[in-house]
Amino acid sequence: MTPQRIGVVGLGLIGGSLACRLHDAGCEVLAWNHTTRPYAGAEARGIRCLPTIEALSAARPDVLVLCNPLKAMPETLAALAGVLDERTTLTDVGSVKGMVRDQVEAAGLGERYIGAHPMAGNERSGWSAADPALYDDALWAVTVREDSDYRRFLAVAGMITGGLCGNRMIVVDDRTHDRAAALISHMPHVVATALVNELVTDPERDIATALAAGSWRDMTRVALTDPDRTRAMVEEDETNVSRLLRDVSSRLLAVADALDGVGRDAALTRFFAEGDPFRTFKAAQADIHAHAPERAVELPEHGWQTALTDLARHGEHIVRFETSRTVVVRELSHIG
């Protein structure tokens, strides 16, 4: 179930890092990028770069991973629609899954598609930032539907959990993924940007910057990302991000009201205590990670999608496959 030949579209930070990791693990990696700028460096790393996306498709990779910007997805899919070999499974690394699936369906490639999103990245961009270590101990979200093909799913899962990436994964539906990604990534990017915007417009910004230490660095690191890239990501998940920003704004306004004297003690106590379950979990996370037991789960022939999404909702990550129908899982994240 481990693919032997993988195609990568887009050699930026995520795609370039994935291509390098797959090559280092012994996989044949083929790539196409919308410009040839990364080709010399990529070919020096053993990645075979092709002149067109049609040529990449004609090479018949087992899995084709779309790592291009989401705004380029319709054009990329249109180019693949008439030429993608039937045996090739299509996946991607985008941080929004519902929109991509709709675009894949519109291109007539829905039956070949399994969504994927590696929880890996940093504020840098481009081939020059590519680093196979970016995927160290990464968790991937893989998205399926009720009609997803199990053979296609295994091809993507084999790339993620096998000897190529050596990563963990959970399986969810598109809607659940997009809501969760908005909560832990897309909305926080906006909040981090708001903090930076507040700093640069404050008259004491120079003194504040001089005093800034670890907490400021950690809270604002993602605000260093290319702002156009962040804006695109936020707009692609606009409904979820808008709702969360309104929720967070309500919480902050309640604190401001409390500090102005409106129900101060009770409101502040409630605000700072509400996150205790997460603090407790984080305090124990390292021990959970080191000692979490593993168990094997047999997947049914029918309803395997539900069986896998139920595992994710119970905080169990897939760490490997023992057989094509047997997954080994470990409980690594569960907030009581």
The domains located in the chain, with CATH, are: 5-172+292-331 (3.40.50.720), 178-287 (1.10.3660.10)
268: closest CA among 256, 279, 278?
256
At 331 the pLDDT is: 83
Number of H helices, E strands in the chain: 15, 11
At 336 the pLDDT is: 63
At 36 the pLDDT is: 97
Determine what percent of the chain is predicted with pLDDT higher than 70.
Answer: 99
At 333 the pLDDT is: 63
Total Cβ atoms within 10 A of residue 62: 20
At 287 the pLDDT is: 75
| Low-confidence residues in the chain, pLDDT < 50 | none
Write down the residue that tokens 């490639």 correspond to.
109
At 102 the pLDDT is: 97
The number of CA neighbours under 13 Å toward the Cβ of 155 is 25
Question: If you ran DSSP here, which 8-state letter would residue 251 be given?
Answer: H
Total Cβ atoms within 10 A of residue 47: 22
At 59 the pLDDT is: 98
Taking CA atoms, 234 is separated from 72, 121, 183, in Å, by 16, 16, 11
At 263 the pLDDT is: 81
181 φ, ψ (degrees, to nearest 5) = -65, -35
Q: Whole-structure pTM over 0.85, yes or no?
A: yes
Cβ-contact 100, 115 below 8 angstroms: yes
Cβ-contact 165, 325 below 8 angstroms: no
* Structure tokens, 262: 């409106």
